């Protein structure tokens, strides 16, 4: 009887502590995900044109916060960053939301494999492997989304011959949409992912204490002090 009187309050106290701790973690995760989504939204607006690409192919760093979220808080957070940034950018969209839909789908193909693989084994090697798999998935996915979704809708605004003409002005060997996607969009998307990955690898260690919280990050380092972390 005495044992029960001691055990039950202790068990309830432990449960209360764990529940409170989990709520604190979830609140931090939601807050940081929102902050990274806001950063991604701004970065998506700050796109730039490159002289060796058609003017409608814009470069931006908006997938970088999503990848950072996926590594630090899991792939669901990365997906939420992709979703939120495109939700706000669709307000000023010039593609009727089609470009944003494509951007979201491609972003998911990038950050989910990276986050999942790093979550299974938190080492620098697994993080790089996940990011590379995500980059290849995003690049390959861009062929499908552009060929079957984005460019068919663009033809409602201008003929396909005109679209091909933008590519052909840079590379005369382009004679079809597939040529354009293979010569330009595929390497462009792949390079964009690799640049985002390089930036995240540089920033992650400095940003991790802020994202995870100093106490949680210190505990995580003690748990994994024998692993080669990102």
Q: What is the pLDDT of residues 166-225, one digit of tens each?
A: 999 999 999 999 999 999 999 999 999 999 999 999 988 787 777 766 554 444 445 444
Render pLDDT for 109-159 as a digit per residue (tens, 0 to 9).
Answer: 999 999 999 999 889 999 999 999 999 999 999 999 999 988 998 888 889
Report how far Cα 41 is from the mean position of its chain's Cα atoms: 12
142: how many CB neighbours lie within 10 A of its CB?
Answer: 24
Sign of CA dihedral 30, 125, 132, 130: negative
User: In this model, does residue 36 exceed pLDDT 90?
Assistant: yes
- Name which of 37, 53, 155 is nearest 104 in CA terms: 37
The conformation of residue 29, written as its DSSP 8-state character, comes to: H
Rama region for 97: left / alpha / beta (φ>0; ψ in -120 to 50; rest): left
Of residues 77 and 204, which shows the higher confidence score?
Answer: 77
What is the pTM assigned to this prediction? 0.80
């Amino acid at each position: 009887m005495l044992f029960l009187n001691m055990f039950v309050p202790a068990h309830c106290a432990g449960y209360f502590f764990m529940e409170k701790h989990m709520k604190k973690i979830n609140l931090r995760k939601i807050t940081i995900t929102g902050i990274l989504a806001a950063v991604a939204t701004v970065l998506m607006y700050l796109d730039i044109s490159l002289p060796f690409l058609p003017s409608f192919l814009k470069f931006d760093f908006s997938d970088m916060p999503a990848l950072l979220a996926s590594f630090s808080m899991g792939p669901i957070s990365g997906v939420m960053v992709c979703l939120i940034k495109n939700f706000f950018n669709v307000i000023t969209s010039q593609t009727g939301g089609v470009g944003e839909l494509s951007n979201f789908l491609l972003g998911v193909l990038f950050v989910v494999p990276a986050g999942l693989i790093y979550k299974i084994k938190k080492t620098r090697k697994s993080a790089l492997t996940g990011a590379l798999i995500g980059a290849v998935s995003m690049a390959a996915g861009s062929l499908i989304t552009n060929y079957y979704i984005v460019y068919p809708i663009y033809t409602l605004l201008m003929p396909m011959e005109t679209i091909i003409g933008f590519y052909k002005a840079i590379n005369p060997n382009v004679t079809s949409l597939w040529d354009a996607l293979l010569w330009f969009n595929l390497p462009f998307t792949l390079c964009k992912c690799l640049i985002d990955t390089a930036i995240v690898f540089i920033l992650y260690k400095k940003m991790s204490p802020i994202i995870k919280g100093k106490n949680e990050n210190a505990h995580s380092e003690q748990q994994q002090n024998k692993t080669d972390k990102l």
